[in-house]
Structure 1
């Protein structure tokens, strides 16, 4: 079977403090995007061989891959060992704050469950996903938007009637999520950069991880400032821990226009994509 594995953005990400377990308590809203990977899953029957392939040669194909971790967690929970083939056709860049690996893991959990005759409920899949990564549970849900609490793994579906065209802009460098959280407490705001919530009909957009990330990666605050200066842009923000910045526009045509200007402003090494929520 072939499945769509969507990317996500965080419309807001607020850090409430560090928890005793070392993670951080957050409040966030995640929105699924039309942009996504394609995941092919084949149940080959008896045996224990797992063949994992990927269109991106930089993606690891061993047990560290979140898709493989998801399959192992499914097998352990159900007590079923089988032979599988999984292929990841990647369109979501890695280290981008767009949830590509988490989405792939959730897609494998749902796909393997379906192919195996649905032995697990959605609640059980969400529980498994939370063990793999904080963003995985939101991709188990089918709604276009979800609120995350705890370390992000406690998800609740929310009504989201807005259709938001947007452009995604990811520089050539990735940002490790643990590093961004570790630097948060001691980080400072840069002068002249907008960190305050941007008030929109769908909520107040802000990201507390912009503070530590912007301190080191100076291209990102410059990019955010440039985006907010564009007449077509309603709001601009970093997604997750970065390095992707996104800008919401009034129309899909405007998103394409901003994408073209962003390619010229950022240069050839930057990944730019127009898409939409949903």
Structure 2
């Protein structure tokens, strides 16, 4: 079976403080995007072999890959051992704050469950997903937008009536999520960079992780300022822990035009894509 594995953005991400388990308490809204990977999953029958391939040669194909972790978690919970073939056709860059690995993991959970005869309920899949990663559950619900609480894994589906055109810009470097959270408490704002919530009809867009990330990766606050100077941009924000910045426009034509301008401004090393929220 072949599945669409969507990317996500965080329309807002608030950090409430550090928890006793070492994670941080957050409030966030996650929106799935039209942009996504393609995941092929084939059930090969009896055995215990897994063949994982990927179009991106930088993606690890061992047990550290979240898709493999999802498969192992499913087999353990469902008490089913089989042989599988999984292929990831990647369009979502790694280390981008766009949830590519988490989305792949969620897609593999759903695919394996379907191909094995649905031994697990949707609630059980969400519980498994939360054990794999904080962003995995948001890809296991039936609505394209959700609110995340706890460390982000406690998801509540929400009505989201907007299909927002947007541009994604990822510079040629990833940002490790644990690093960004670790630096949050002692980070400071950079003068001249707007961190305040951007008030929009769909909510107040803000990301508390911009503060620690912008301190080190100075291209990102410069890019945010540049995006907000463009007349067609409604709001601009970093997604998750970065390194992707995204800008929302009024129309898909404006998004395409902004993407062309961003390619000139950023140069050839940046990954730039126009897309929209899923609807």
Q: TM-score, normalised by structure 2?
A: 0.99
- State the 1:155 CA deviation: 0.1
- State the 1:144 CA deviation: 1.2
Residue of structure 1 in register with 2:269 after alignment: 269
Runs of 5+ consecutive residues of structure 1 not aligned to the other structure: none
- State the 1:73 CA deviation: 0.1
Residue of structure 2 in register with 1:115 after alignment: 115
- State the 1:142 CA deviation: 2.2
> What does the per-residue CA deviation read over 1:214-272, in whole Å, with 9 as the maximum and x for residues that have no partner?
00000000000000000000000000000000000000000000000000001100000
Residue of structure 2 in register with 1:225 after alignment: 225
> What does the per-residue CA deviation read over 1:130-167, in whole Å, with 9 as the maximum and x for residues that have no partner?
00000000000121100000000000000000010000
Are positions 1:102 and 2:102 aligned together? yes
C-alpha distance in structure 2 between counterparts of 1:24 and 1:48, whole Å: 37
Are positions 1:7 and 2:17 aligned together? no
C-alpha distance in structure 2 between counterparts of 1:78 and 1:10, whole Å: 32
Residue of structure 2 in register with 1:207 after alignment: 207
Residue of structure 1 in register with 2:174 after alignment: 174
Give the SS at the match of 2:196: coil
Q: TM-score, normalised by structure 1?
A: 1.00
> What does the per-residue CA deviation read over 1:40-71, in whole Å, with 9 as the maximum and x for residues that have no partner?
00000001110000000000000000000000
Give the SS at the match of 2:237: strand
- State the 1:32 CA deviation: 0.2
Residue of structure 2 in register with 1:260 after alignment: 260
Residue of structure 2 in register with 1:143 after alignment: 143
> What does the per-residue CA deviation read over 1:82-121, in whole Å, with 9 as the maximum and x for residues that have no partner?
0000000000000000000000000000000000011001
Are positions 1:44 and 2:47 aligned together? no
The worse-fitting range, judged by mean Cα deviation, of 135-144 and 178-187 is 135-144
Give the SS at the match of 1:248: strand
C-alpha distance in structure 1 between counterparts of 2:150 and 2:144, whole Å: 20
Residue of structure 1 in register with 2:29 after alignment: 29
C-alpha distance in structure 2 between counterparts of 1:119 and 1:79, whole Å: 9
C-alpha distance in structure 2 between counterparts of 1:69 and 1:116, whole Å: 17
Residue of structure 2 in register with 1:71 after alignment: 71
Instruction: Give the number of aligned pairs.
Output: 278
Pairwise CA RMSD of aligned residues?
A: 0.3
Runs of 5+ consecutive residues of structure 2 not aligned to the other structure: none
Residue of structure 2 in register with 1:152 after alignment: 152
4+ aligned runs moved over 2 Å, structure 1: none
